[in-house]
Amino acid sequence: MALRQKLLVLYVHSPDLNSRTVAWSIYDGTGKETHTTGDSEIPPYETIVQAMLDGWRVVQFPQQFPAYPGMEYTTSYLRYEYILEKMEEIND
């Protein structure tokens, strides 16, 4: 058996690991699943902690930037991006 990596990118509402998921991407290196942008309305996990309880390992936390006065209502990219991985066995 060989190991292949799956990646899960979760964007959450705040830096809290229990914050709700607002966007996500899944990349499956096992070849078992195929995902594309917008292929589901329901996130795979409601929070980072739920994904961790299912065996996903957090490999990257979002960089935290200080709040700038007057920027409270400015829209931008999704700030709280967490990257998680899971290694799964495949038949070689």
For residue 74, is it within any domain? no
pLDDT at 72: 67
Q: Positive or negative CA dihedral for 59, 89, 27, 20?
A: negative
Helices and strands, number each (H, E), in the chain: 1, 4
The residue written with tokens 């936390």 in the block is 61
For residue 25, is it within any domain? yes
Distance, CA of 27 to CA of 6 (rounded, Å): 6
pLDDT at 82: 93
For residue 12, is it within any domain? yes
Overall average pLDDT of the 69-85 stretch:
78
For residue 86, is it within any domain? yes
Q: Tally the domains of the chain.
A: 1
Give the domain extent around 50.
2-64+79-90
Tens digit of pLDDT for each residue in 42-68? 999 999 999 999 999 999 877 766 667
Token pair in block for residue 77:
């990219």
For residue 70, is it within any domain? no
Q: Positive or negative CA dihedral for 43, 49, 54, 56?
A: positive
- In the predicted structure, residue 74 carries a pLDDT above the cut 90: no
